[in-house]
Amino acid sequence: MAERGYVIFPEFLPKDEAQALFNYAQNLGEPDWNIAGIGREQQHTVNTRVRSDQIRWLHPEHAIEQSYLSTMDTLRQYLNRRFFMGLFDYECHLARYQPGAFYKKHLDAFKGRSNRVLTTVFYLNPEWTPNDGGELIIYGESDTVLETVLPQQNTLVMFLSDTFVHEVQVAHKERFSITGWFRHNTSLGPRIDPPR
């Protein structure tokens, strides 16, 4: 993280926890999923030409979701101790990419205009192959490809939200992941950001 601004962990959780998250995501019903949008608050819109995945925000009321949120809060505390980042909280959602779904090139935050600091992507599908598509592409300057990450179960990718343009290539079979953001507290006056 300190040298490149991103890091890839190939075995982030105990294998049974990663598999349990996959089983949980796979068994959710259609009403649990929402069409993903782009932008925040008043700028939030749905644009299926930019992204076509579906999402479900994680909440602590569900035990398996709380377990993942707790793990990420432990990671948040470690990052604050190690890098003095001042990370305030973490939000995340499950993402489902059905065959043909994608997310075109984008930044998760613009410098000085968002409280998102670090992006995380955790992959849930076992036995994923290059023929299945759905790779995460991380770009550097001048559209140089820095990493092509196959979405294999139990891999966590973490990168600076306002630095790395990235995209998800077209998935050829159903693909599950958890995307999240460690955030700063950017509250001003009566406006709470992040909202409670």
* pLDDT by position in tens, the chain (length 196): 889 999 999 999 999 999 999 999 999 999 999 987 655 544 445 456 688 999 999 999 999 999 999 999 999 999 999 999 999 999 999 999 999 999 999 999 877 667 899 999 999 999 999 999 999 999 999 999 999 999 999 999 999 999 999 999 999 999 999 999 999 976 544 445 555 5
Say if CB 11 and CB 17 are below 8 A apart: no
Domain range list for the chain: 6-34+45-183
DSSP state, residue 41 = G
Within 8 A by CB and 6+ apart from 10, the residues are 152, 154, 155
Cα–Cα distances in angstroms (integers) from residue 158 to residues 23, 57, 114, 116, 192, in the given order = 23, 19, 17, 12, 26
SS3 75: helix
Which pTM value belongs to this model?
0.90
User: Which top CATH class is 6-34+45-183?
Assistant: mainly beta
